[in-house]
Amino acid sequence: MAEPAPDSVRILVVCTGNSCRSILAEALFRELGGDRVAVDSAGSEPEGAVNPRTLDVLDEAGVGHDWARSKSLSEFLDREFDHVITVCDNAAEACPNFPGPAVRTHWSIPDPALARGTVEEQLIVYRATYWDLEKRIAGFLATLDA
Among the options 20, 57, 88, 115, which is catalytic?
88
SS3 (DSSP) at 106: strand
List phi, psi (to 5°) of 144.
-70, -25
CA distance 124 to 130: 10
Q: Is 20 labeled as catalytic in the residue annotation?
A: no
Among the options 9, 11, 14, 15, which is catalytic?
15
The residues annotated with a catalytic role in the active site are 15, 88, 95
